[in-house]
Amino acid sequence: MSNPTSGERQEKDLAGTHVTLIPVKAFSKAKVRLTAALGAEARAALARHLAEGVIRSASHGPVAVVCDDDNVAQWASSHGASVIWAPGKGLNRAVAYGVSELESRGAERITIVHGDILDASGLADLPIVDDILMVPDLREDGTNVISLPRGARFEFAYGPGSFTRHRAAARASGHDVVVVRDLLLGHDIDQPSDLPPT
């Protein structure tokens, strides 16, 4: 009997599962808003370190990384994550594509987590809900975590002010929203003042 294709294995593996989806941009292009505090190599190393922490914290279930960079794809595979290749889409379209791909492979719930959270250890402790769950950043401006049921038809709108837009998008999709404000999951590294003391 011949071996199943990679896609068939992925579909079987993800059927009925709760998958964590992490969008990761090229490490060399990440964290440009930290330029005043860190050089290019330090920014790339920080982006990689933070994303590795998110993958480790999400290892209670299947993890996928959506990306458009060869080095990130190799890095994700080396950490046990599946790779969803989404070149030239930008963040919102890449995440939407990743969600669609995971649903097509049978995922029952998908939690999108940014790769720049300082301490993502609380991911496994998030409440299980039927509708949409969100964790805003500490400024309640961005959206660090969005957890969606299968078929939510949610419109992603990352960028400044995304938390307000995402709550509106959830209501527009006909779902209730559970908001979890968490000091750790809300602490992303977005600007120099977010960096921990050295």
Segment 145-159, tens digit of pLDDT: 999 999 999 999 999
pLDDT at 81: 97
pLDDT at 34: 83
pLDDT at 3: 31
Instruction: Compute CA distances 50 → 55, 117, 129, 141, whole Å.
Output: 9, 6, 27, 20
pLDDT at 6: 37
pLDDT at 152: 94
pLDDT at 101: 97
What one-character DSSP code corresponds to residue 117?
Answer: B
SS3 94: helix
CA distance 59 to 81: 9
pLDDT at 51: 97
pLDDT at 159: 94
Q: Which residues of the chain have pLDDT under 70?
A: 1-12, 198
CA distance 45 to 81: 19
Q: Which fold has domain 7-192?
A: Spore Coat Polysaccharide Biosynthesis Protein SpsA; Chain A (3.90.550)
CB distance 68 to 86 below 8 Å: yes
